[in-house]
Chains A and B, each alone.
Chain A
Amino acid sequence: MSSSSPSPFRAPASGLVALRRRFFALFRGRPETTAWTLVGPGLSWMLLFFIGPLLLMLFYSFKQRGVYGVVVDGYTIEHYLRFADPLYLGILWRTLKMALSCTIICLLLGYPVAYVIAAGGRFKNLLLFLVVLPFWTSFLVRTFAMIFLMRDTGLINTTLLSLGLIDEPIAMLYTPFAVMAGLVYGFLPFMVLPIYTSLEKLDPSLLEAAEVLGARPVARFLRVTLPLSMPGVAAGSLLVFIPSLGSYLTPDLLGGAKQMMIGNLVQNQFTSARNWPFGSAASFIVMALVLVAVVGFLRKRDAGPGSVL
């Protein structure tokens, strides 16, 4: 509301209304003050209860560990150096491998779905709704659905046993396969939606032009549709990669101890291992990986044509 003088049409007021007007008059012609006042309450909350705790954690990650896991005086970088240990490098490597594979699988499964929705004609809304619905459903419930299907007495094994296709249950739960299935199941909608958005924006006359100029369907897809949907592919990949990198619940419930990812290491250090500084350092290593992914994505976006989000 940028008018700098009160409107000539404004009726004189008294009491509460007059007080209100005097309050708003303070902001007239001061856009910066107005903006900061509006942003203020939310900003304070986020600084106090989001950024503050993260900084506190950063501080803890450089503290020395006392006998019972409580921090003592003095600073050190030993908690970060501990990641050179093959055990922790292994967890880090597994986390990266899982997050990357999950992103690739989601891309392979999600692209055709996004394509079918974009080409869906009058079924477009229904098809879109069916992808969005699981996104709104409880992550915990969806993870349990995976357990229900994959454990030894689960539906898949009992069905295969009764059909006589196998003699004993296939061990699926607590394997990398189970974790991967859970991650893909959880994050697939994040891949479909941005790809659909960029396919939706695609100008049909470009495809028409390609057809008129003699391009076969495969060439039309590879040289027109696919390149123009790359912003959606990049955004979807980021939206899948980031949460799978930091996932905790999926490996916790579907993976067991051997499939530990870095999120589980963090939780473990704060509960059973009681090594807060090391847990804090592990948290900042995940944060650093996330940052690298985001920065890489932004640089690619700013270099390429079109906007991504």
Chain B
Amino acid sequence: MRGLRAPGWVLAFASLVYFFLHAPLLVLVAFSFNDSKFSAGFEGFTFHWYERLLERSDVLEALKMSLIVGLGSTLVSTVLGTLFALGLSRRKFRGRTALESLVYIPVVTPEIVVGISLLLLFVTLGVELGLPTILVAHIAFNISFVVVVVRARLEGMDRSLEEASLILGADEWTTFWRVTVPQLWPGILSGALLAFIMSFDDFVITSMVSGPGSSTLPIVVYGMVRKNIEPSINAISTIILVLTSIFVFAADRLSNTGGSSSR
């Protein structure tokens, strides 16, 4: 006997759930190529809706803004989060339990509360909303996620290699870059990937702390959904789906080559 066995009706039920998970997105993608404005039935293949997107300067601007915000906040939150995780991984010290609980606060706080509280802060301080406020907000919620992912990797890591390196004459700086970072690399990459996707996807928090002229892609897409601009939304959704899939796939390959196991 080989452990769990799934009976036929469970398999059938699970297939239905898989269908429920994937069919809506497949339909969305299919209709981005539909040659009809009132998308009732499929009436022929076209790239027209993609061409229409290229004519919209706000979409391209927003894509650029999303990439800037995503890369910027990922860079900062990955560095701060990795250092934070390394600090937590030291042996017990006063305040560690409190820090560990603190890490989970951003993970459980509803996005709308995060967004509104940051808006309150910026308004109270009289800060103008724009790219800097978006970056500050995204870094603030991303640090925790990086800490959680990197810590998971640190727990399975052999710390005696660092000791060996120090005893054999490398200083802390060299040890960090030549021993700690290579071992930790898959964890750092996974953390960075999670941070980038969270940032690239975020609508709720961004919509609270962005000002005029600093709209990210989700904000423009939200506007399109509200105004029912069709089927251009299908086209932009398809582009977002393809971009994230490529990104997830690439990052997965990268983190698999970086270490013995990625999880």
Does B214 reach chain A (CB closer than 8 Å)?
no
Question: For residue A215, which residues in chain B have a CB less than 8 angstroms away from its CB?
Answer: none
Determine the chain B residues whose CB is within 8 A of the CB of A141 once the complex forms.
25, 28, 221, 237, 240-241
- Which chain A residues border B124 with CB–CB below 8 Å? 56
Which of B24, B84, B136 touches A43 (beta carbons < 8 Å)? B84
Given A1-B162, A112-B10, A136-B197, CB of A39 within 8 Å of CB of B225: no
Known A10-B169, A131-B21, A207-B3: A36·B203 in contact at CB below 8 Å: no
At the interface, is chain B mostly helix, strand, loop or mixed? helix
In the assembled complex, B83 has its CB within 8 A of some CB on chain A: yes
State how many residues of chain B have any CB contact under 8 Å with chain A: 92
- Whether the Cβ atoms of B88 and A51 lie closer than 8 Å is no
- Stretch in A78-86, A147-155, A300-308 with 4+ CB within 8 Å of B: A147-155
Contact A130 B21 (CB under 8 A): yes
- Contact with A115, one of B6, B102, B120 (Cβ below 8 angstroms): B6
Cβ of A211: which chain B residues have Cβ within 8 Å of it?
1
Q: Which of A20, A202, A290 contacts B109 (CB 8 A)?
A: A290
Q: Min CB distance, B184 to chain A, in Å?
A: 13
Q: How far is the CA of A21 from the CA of B28 in the complex (A)?
A: 58
Does A77 sit within 8 A of B, measured CB to CB? no
Contact A267–B112 (Cβ < 8 Å): yes
Please, which residue of chain A has its CB at the minimum distance from the CB of B222? A140
Is B27 on the interface with A (CB-CB < 8 A)?
yes
Interface string of A242-271 (1 = CB under 8 A from B): 110111110001000000000100110010
Q: Which of A39, A110, A136, A290 contacts B110 (CB 8 A)?
A: A290
Q: Evaluate contact between B120 and A57: CB separation under 8 angstroms.
A: yes
Q: What B residues does A158 contact at CB under 8 A?
A: 40-41
Which of the segments B44-52, B54-62, B138-146, B253-261 contacts the partner chain? B138-146
B167 close to A42 (CB less than 8 A): no
CB–CB B88/A35 < 8 A = yes
For chain A, give the interface size range: 35 or more
Instruction: Name the interface residues of A19-62: CB closer than 8 Å to any CB of B.
Output: 20-21, 24, 27, 31-32, 34-43, 45-46, 49-54, 56-57, 60
Within 8 A of B (CB), among A200-236: 202, 204, 207-208, 211, 217, 225
A3-B166, A31-B93 in contact; A116/B140 too (CB < 8 A)? no
**Bound Cα distance from A170 to B122, whole angstroms:** 45
Q: Which of B135-163 contact A (CB under 8 A)?
A: 136-137, 139-141, 143-144, 147, 162-163
The CB with the most chain B CB atoms within 10 A, among A21, A39, A112, A204, is that of: A39
B1-38 vs A, CB cutoff 8 Å, 1 = contact: the mask equals 11111110011011001101110110110010000001
Q: Is A275 an interface residue (CB 8 A)?
A: no
Q: Assess the A136–B248 pair: CB atoms within 8 A.
A: yes
Q: A188 in the interface, Cβ–Cβ < 8 Å? A: yes
Q: A46 and B102: CB pair below 8 A?
A: yes
Interface pair B110/A243, CB less than 8 Å apart: yes
Cβ A52 vs Cβ B40 within 8 A: no
**Chain A residues, CB < 8 A from B24:** 142, 145-146, 148-149, 185
Contacts of A49 in B (CB 8 A): 118, 121, 136-137, 139-140
**Interface assignment of A9: CB less than 8 Å from any CB of chain B:** yes
* Contacting residue for A148 out of B4, B28, B143, B173, CB 8 A: B28
Residues of A within 8 A of B17 (CB): 109-110, 112-113, 188
A189 CA to B237 CA, complexed, in Å: 20
Contacts of A54 in B (CB 8 A): 109, 113, 117
| New A-B pairs, 5, CB < 8 Å, besides A24-B173, A253-B225 | A46-B144, A51-B102, A115-B14, A137-B25, A290-B110
Q: What are 21 A-B interface contacts by the 8 Å CB criterion?
A: A2-B163, A10-B171, A49-B139, A50-B140, A53-B118, A54-B113, A110-B17, A113-B17, A118-B4, A133-B245, A133-B248, A136-B245, A141-B237, A148-B31, A149-B27, A242-B108, A246-B113, A248-B112, A286-B110, A287-B110, A294-B108
Mark B residues whose CB is within 8 Å of A: 1-7, 10-11, 13-14, 17-18, 20-22, 24-25, 27-28, 31, 38-41, 80-81, 83-84, 86-88, 90-91, 93-96, 99, 102, 105-106, 108-114, 116-121, 124, 136-137, 139-141, 143-144, 147, 162-163, 166-173, 175, 197, 200-201, 203-204, 218, 221-222, 225, 233-234, 237, 240-241, 244-245, 248
Binding site for B on A (CB under 8 A): 1-3, 7-11, 17, 20-21, 24, 27, 31-32, 34-43, 45-46, 49-54, 56-57, 60, 109-110, 112-113, 115-116, 118-119, 121, 130-131, 133-134, 136-149, 153, 155, 158, 162, 185, 188, 199, 202, 204, 207-208, 211, 217, 225, 242-243, 245-249, 253, 263, 266-267, 270, 276, 279-280, 283, 286-287, 290, 294
